[in-house]
Structure 1
Amino acid sequence: MTAPNAAPRRALIVVDVQNDYDGGGLPIVHPPFAESIAAIGRAMDAATAAGIPVVVIRQNAPETAPIFARGSHGGTLHPVVANRPRDHLIDKALPSAFTGTDLESWLRARAIETITVVGYMTHNCDLSTVIHALHMGFAVEVLSDATGSLAYANRAGRATAEEIHRVCLVVMQARFAAVLPTDEWIAGLASGELPPRDTIFGSARAGAAL
């Protein structure tokens, strides 16, 4: 990694850290919830200490929905996030934190260049937000241990939580984001070093050599 001339103007985007992911309707499996929620807390604390704005995103569903129902315990922010300082709170109804919200305008008004994404789930709202951000011209970072997935099975097939989480991170690193552990990101805030980024071409060549 190489040190830049000036640190990018970052914001930490904390996506959907709600109680339904903590043993509720959509329990996170990999990494274990206890590990990822601790990493999210560390990232929020480090961002606050470094003067990086923290934006908390909350998924809202109708009161009759099986998950994230408005006013339900499952739809409430997890205490690790709810009890920490934040600069902005956004409610959303679709996977991307940008769709139907003021997130883009809030970031532009503060000249934010890079967003760092944590929260849930790696393969759904995180991935949607990351891709959306890239298309808008933001640089993106994803903290790999401050996110998480669960297993899926449907008519298209099945995949374990580990497979979904790992593959999504590999895909994001190849084009959409710099993927790194939380502690490395925190160290970079102090040193000014930026995380390495890969390309589709480089990732494909390395994959072909396996």
Structure 2
Amino acid sequence: MQALLVIDMQEFVAQRIEGGMTFYPTNSMANMLSVIAAFRAAGKPVLHVRHETLEPGSPMHRQAVPFSPVSGFEEREGEPVFIKTTSSAFSSTDLYAWLQEAQINEVTVIGAVAGFCVNSTIRSGTDLGLVMTVVRDAVLSFPLEGENLGAKAIYDVTLGLLEAGFARGVNAAELLG
């Protein structure tokens, strides 16, 4: 059985974009919403992961605005939300136990940020024996500030490495058929 994992689509992402930060691919957020809608229409599980920093006053603390889901990415009734405090959605949550209980062994991944939490979650999922798929144009990459690494360069390297042995890569149009 297959599930969709939506990683870290929280206000911190929207705030960066609204603040003028470049991101790649530019159609990724629209594609994410289309993929979510397709999984829901097919009756397949949609799982949400949110990143939290435990220190009060941190921008990613549960009480802070950047922690909230981006408009349109809120969970619906019956869709589980896993709150993580690490890069991988598997290492600080009960996500893997939930997948085992639901007898899900295929996970399709969308969300943010490609070079960080998407990357580590996919690698961890593969290490756990799950069949991982990344929707290429439904994951989002930002540049590394001060490192002269643009969003597209990070995206290209990250997706290239993931598809070299950790995940099958598909485009949203292929997935949506």
Q: TM-score, normalised by structure 1?
A: 0.77
Secondary structure of the corresponding residue to residue 158 of structure 1: coil
Q: Which residue of 2 aligns with 1:45?
A: 37
Instruction: Confirm or deny: 8 A CA contact 2:48 2:75 kept in the other structure.
Output: no
Instruction: Confirm or deny: 8 A CA contact 1:24 1:74 kept in the other structure.
Output: no
Deviations 1:20-40 (A, max 9, x none): 1113499561122xx222111
Q: Which residue of 1 aligns with 2:72?
A: 80
Q: Which residue of 2 aligns with 1:69?
A: 61
Deviates more, 1:74-83 or 1:108-117: 74-83
Q: Which residue of 1 aligns with 2:170?
A: 180
- Specify whether residues 115 and 28 from structure 1 end up closer, same or farther in structure 2 by C-alpha distance, changes over 3 A only: farther
Secondary structure of the corresponding residue to residue 124 of structure 1: helix
Secondary structure of the corresponding residue to residue 159 of structure 1: coil
Runs of 4+ in structure 1 off by over 6 angstroms are none
Q: Which residue of 1 aligns with 2:137?
A: 145
Aligned length: 174
Q: How does 1:16-165 map to 2 (within 5 A)?
A: 16-24=8-16, 27=21, 29-32=23-26, 35-61=27-53, 62-65=55-58, 67-82=59-74, 84=76, 87-153=79-145, 157-165=147-155
Instruction: Confirm or deny: 8 A CA contact 1:55 1:86 kept in the other structure.
Output: no
Distance 1:146 1:82 in 2: 16
- Please say if 1:170 is aligned against 2:160: yes
Structure 2 alignment gaps of length 5 or more: none
Deviations 1:137-164 (A, max 9, x none): 000000111111111145xx53111000
Q: TM-score, normalised by structure 2?
A: 0.91
Q: Which residue of 2 aligns with 1:198?
A: none
Deviations 1:162-201 (A, max 9, x none): 00001111111110001111121121xxxxxxxxxxxxxx
Distance 2:128 2:145 in 1: 32
Instruction: Confirm or deny: 8 A CA contact 2:6 2:109 kept in the other structure.
Output: yes
Deviations 1:69-120 (A, max 9, x none): 3212111011111165552111110010011211001000111111000000
* Coordinate RMSD, CA, aligned: 1.8
Secondary structure of the corresponding residue to residue 165 of structure 2: helix
Say which one has the larger Rg: 1
Letter paired with 1:29: F
Distance 2:56 2:155 in 1: 29
Distance 2:38 2:97 in 1: 24
Letter paired with 2:39: A
